[in-house]
A = this chain, B = another copy of it.
């Protein structure tokens, strides 16, 4: 399961990075809960997406702690410019994934933290402050749900009777002059799909509440934790699209979860894309 590049890193070093990542979510949870109590200002970014004081405060706090712990590691985050982009180690931060929902008081938003080594996923954490749900894992070290180890394979049944998928919202599929027919074909094939949007859909897969998820046209920090988590759980992660957009932004689309179902969804995506 652990490739040659990751196996360069001793297990106890990986464990220590994982502990750092999990500790970071204690800080982010506390900051986010304080903003929920006190209220926060909301503004629009140039791309028209919303950002709040909480997003920037959390990312600032996480960056400060990471720089003090690992001054040579790089940091890529949603709200601030990249730090040490040439480092082999890159921490990837989404302080609040699902800011739309955070602003609306819908509790499914979350914080995503991951660490990559030479472009390979090493650590992944998704933390939901308003739901008290946390998923964390590292290459070779398995996955924990709220601190409790998840047995690999237990999240993914190959049952074909009642498969459940979650997807990004249809709007994601339409981004960058895309079209909605991939969403429509998946909704036709899996009419019981839920559209929770954002990292809560990822968490549903990791916790065994959904069998697969399709994420579409998102940025690296939206999806960076999920490959290592799903692979450590014995699932499959398949990147179905990666595009460099005219403004230099790279977008990612991926299907992950139960291996047989991932293959089936990837076939639908391929046949619609033609």
Contact = CB atoms under 8 A, between A and B. Distances in A.
Interface of A: 101, 104-107, 131, 164, 169-171, 173-174, 180, 183-184, 187-188, 191-197, 204, 207-210
A22 B6 CA distance: 54
Contacts of A210: 104
Question: What are the 6 tightest A-B residue pairs by CB atom distance, in nearest-first order?
Answer: A195-B195, A170-B191, A104-B209, A171-B191, A171-B192, A106-B209
A204 B107 CA distance: 11
12 contacts: A104-B164, A104-B210, A105-B209, A169-B193, A170-B188, A171-B191, A171-B192, A173-B191, A174-B191, A180-B188, A187-B187, A194-B195
B183 A170 contact: no
Contacts of A204: 104, 106
B194 A187 contact: no
A204 B105 CA distance: 9
Contact of A107 (B131, B173, B195): B131
Residue of A164, A183, A187, A197 ringed by the most chain B CB atoms within 10 A = A187
Nearest to A175: B191
B196 A170 contact: no
B196 A194 contact: yes
Contact of A187 (B107, B131, B184, B196): B184
A194 to B, nearest CB: 5
Nearest to A173: B191
Given A180-B187, A184-B187, A187-B183, A192 B169 contact: yes
A191 B167 CA distance: 12
